[in-house]
């Protein structure tokens, strides 16, 4: 099929390169000219395992191309995916102005009968709203919802092996065409109306964020009663009704989706007259969690952070990605610096963050540090020689906000250890 993807970010690039790998002819429209130049020469500007190979294959066999003009990219397409950002507005709702702008831009250039597919996470009612908008300019197209569930860090694998594909449309022909587009993928397909499809995306993210927060709240309580949260959550997780996913205590959820999508769902609920108290509580507990980690760091250095040096391991919002959007690590760095600490950071895949002092490697970050704070669960941190860390540090404390290290091994080296819920 002739496919267009607008927006070459984590979602658009994976979708575009993935669909090209399935044999579709894919044109990607992208506003960032430098990104188009890099991608056209086979350089992928984000870290996502296996994506380089997929993009190079697509360029090589001529099925994938990148365009500075969305109109040029969209012309002649049977299916046009919208994968541009939907950031958070001041009131918590999702800002769909970029989606709206793009649809307005390409609307009158779409071929008769084309499908406009909303991959961006958009508020409930968006498909209908954009359908009305396109009907208004006389475009004979169908707008439908097809939310994205990929996880950064395993996005390519998730594209080829999705847990499910959700298609939200009441238009039979559009649904059949979408099923045809994904026919090479072996996944259950949920066909529903657009509003329900839009709700599935928010519901899934809100539920996962709730699980993370439940684990954090349990960990906080375990600390208070003297239980080990790792054992508690392990014992809970073996229950097949519960399972282990997203039950790891830590510094709170972050990233480009959970924070904004939970707040957007609260806004959707408010707008429709439902008080989503549960989700509001989740957001509140999550906001507190970073403060609790800062309190641990403060305590580890004797009660005041002013004038201390904190080594910060990890900046990405989770391991496996270079994405720092709404990362708990950056939240922690801000809080620590606001209390007068000097923060020296290292992340295997994040090379620089504005105004943050970066170290050359994990060990370098710990030089003359009073405390080491582990904020992202990169496996390579487990392989750093903690004896060398101890010798490099000025202080002797490790705050492990991801429960990555073995507390016994740390303590045997003469270092103090503080985890989450243990
Ligand atoms: P991103 O910021 O990584 O990528 C968006 C891309 O769109 C950027 O390259 C940007 O330059 C480009 N862009 C912006 N305005 C444009 C325009 N007018 N024309 C063409 N291109 C334009 O964002 P993302 O993480 O890929 O997220 C995109 C959407 O998908 C959001 O709605 C997000 O909530 C949703 N989503 C993201 C994830 C995820 O894990 N990142 C998962 C599921 C859903």
Q: What is the CATH number of domain 198-422?
A: 3.40.50.720
**pLDDT-based confidence at 174, cuts 50/70/90?**
very high
Quote the pLDDT of residue 319: 97
Q: Where does 2-192 sit in CATH, by number? A: 3.40.50.720
Answer yes or no: is the C-beta of 83 below 6 A from any ligand 1 atom: yes
257 lines ligand 1 (CB under 6 A): yes
Write out the catalytic residue numbers. Answer: 257
* Pairing verdict, β 371-374 and 115-118: unpaired
* Ligand 1 atom 1, closest CA: 9
Q: Is 222 in the pocket of ligand 1 (CB under 6 A)?
A: no
Contact between residue 350 and residue 322 where contact means Cβ atoms under 8 Å apart: yes
Tell me if 204 CB under 6 Å of ligand 1. Answer: no
Q: How many A from CA of 227 to the centre of ligand 1?
A: 42
What is the Cα–Cα distance from 250 to 255, expressed in whole angstroms? 14
Tell whether the torsion through CA atoms of 201, 203, 204 and 208 is positive or negative: positive
How far does the centroid of ligand 1 lie from the alpha carbon of residue 138, in Å?
Answer: 27
Ligand 1 atom, smallest distance to 119 CA:
30
Residues of the chain with CATH 3.40.50.720: 2-192, 198-422
> What is the residue with the minimal CA distance to atom 17 of ligand 1?
31
Going from the Cα of 99 to the center of ligand 1, the distance in angstroms, rounded, reads 10
Look at residue 221 in the predicted model and tell me its pLDDT.
98
**How many Å apart are CA 164 and CA 172, to the nearest integer?**
19
> What residues pair up with 311 in beta bridges, in sequence order?
344, 372
Which residue has the least CA distance to atom 19 on ligand 1?
A: 31
Nearest-atom number in ligand 1 for the CA of 256 is 41
Alpha-carbon distances of 135 from 68, 96, 123, 176, 279, rounded to whole Å: 26, 18, 20, 21, 36
| Ligand 1 atom with the shortest distance to the CA of 8 | 9
Regarding the beta carbon of 320 and ligand 1, being less than 6 Å apart is answered no
- What's the mean pLDDT when you consider all of the chain? 97
pLDDT in tens, 58-114: 999 999 999 999 999 999 999 999 999 999 999 999 999 999 999 999 999 999 999
Q: Answer whether 0.85 is exceeded by the pTM.
A: yes
Tell me the per-residue pLDDT of 210-268, one tens digit each, with 9 for 90 and over.
999 999 999 999 999 999 999 999 999 999 999 999 999 999 999 999 999 999 999 99
**% of the chain at pLDDT higher than 90:** 100
Residue 247: per-residue pLDDT: 96
């Amino acid at each position: 099929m002739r496919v267009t993807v607008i927006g070459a970010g984590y979602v658009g690039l994976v979708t575009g390169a993935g669909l090209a790998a399935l044999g579709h002819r894919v044109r990607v429209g992208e506003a960032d000219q430098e990104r188009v130049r890099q991608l056209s020469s086979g350089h992928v500007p984000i870290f996502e395992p296996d994506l380089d190979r997929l993009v190079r294959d697509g360029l090589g066999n001529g099925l994938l191309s990148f365009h500075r003009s969305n109109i040029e990219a969209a012309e002649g397409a049977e299916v046009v995916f919208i994968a541009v950002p939907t950031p958070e507005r001041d009131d918590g709702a999702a800002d769909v102005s970029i989606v709206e702008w793009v649809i307005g831009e390409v609307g009158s250039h779409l071929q008769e009968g084309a499908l406009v597919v909303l991959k961006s996470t958009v508020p409930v009612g968006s498909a209908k709203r954009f359908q009305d908008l396109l009907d208004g300019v006389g475009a004979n197209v169908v707008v439908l919802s097809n939310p994205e569930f990929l996880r950064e860090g395993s996005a390519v694998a998730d594209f080829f092996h999705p847990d499910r594909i959700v298609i939200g449309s009441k238009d039979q022909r559009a649904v059949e065409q979408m099923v045809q587009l994904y026919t090479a993928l072996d996944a259950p397909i949920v066909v529903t109306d657009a509003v329900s499809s839009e709700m599935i995306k928010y519901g899934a993210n809100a539920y996962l964020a709730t699980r993370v927060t439940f684990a954090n709240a349990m960990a906080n309580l375990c600390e208070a009663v003297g239980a080990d949260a790792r054992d508690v959550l392990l014992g809970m997780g073996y229950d097949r009704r519960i399972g282990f996913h997203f039950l790891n205590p830590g510094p709170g959820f972050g990233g480009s989706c959970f924070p904004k999508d939970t707040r957007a769902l609260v806004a959707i609920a408010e707008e429709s007259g439902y008080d989503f108290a549960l989700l509001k509580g989740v957001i509140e507990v999550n906001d507190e969690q970073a403060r609790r980690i800062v309190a641990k760091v403060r305590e580890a250095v004797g009660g005041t952070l002013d004038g201390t040096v904190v080594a910060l391991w990890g900046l990405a919002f989770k391991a496996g990605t270079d994405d720092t959007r709404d990362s708990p690590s950056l939240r922690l760095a801000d809080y620590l610096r606001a209390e007068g600490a000097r923060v020296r950071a290292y992340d295997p895949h994040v090379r620089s963050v504005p105004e943050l002092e970066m170290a050359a490697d994990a060990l370098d970050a710990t030089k003359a540090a009073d405390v080491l704070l582990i904020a992202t669960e990169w496996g390579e941190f487990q392989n750093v020689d903690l004896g060398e860390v101890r010798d490099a540090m000025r202080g002797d404390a490790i705050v492990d906000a991801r429960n990555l290290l073995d507390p016994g091994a740390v303590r045997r080296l003469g270092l103090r250890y503080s985890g989450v819920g243990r």
